[in-house]
Structure 1
């Protein structure tokens, strides 16, 4: 499929700060680095001492985790 050059540049910029699970595909990464998405992706993080407003539960046996260092 087609992938805009901006998405590839975004991914190149952030790639060294990612820890990837063994099931992460290049297509998954390109989706997260999409240069055309305007706030449409959900990213979940934890702030120590922050208010808990919901919970996310990883799928059992999931090997497609992506962590930003």
Structure 2
């Protein structure tokens, strides 16, 4: 299934954020802003956000600041 333009941007932002298993508040805000920028959530965006939420709940990804 092909992603919409905003769905593709959302996917890239999520992948970038979870690459090191840490999601910063800034990355989370960017993800939310991308998902709502067109005023609606399509099914692809909902699925991506659900996967991210599951990863956070399962502690595969945690909130925090990067240790550079």
TM-score with structure 2 length normalisation?
Answer: 0.31
Higher RCO structure (Cα 8 Å, ≥6 apart) = 1
Q: Name the larger-Rg structure.
A: 1
TM-score with structure 1 length normalisation?
Answer: 0.30
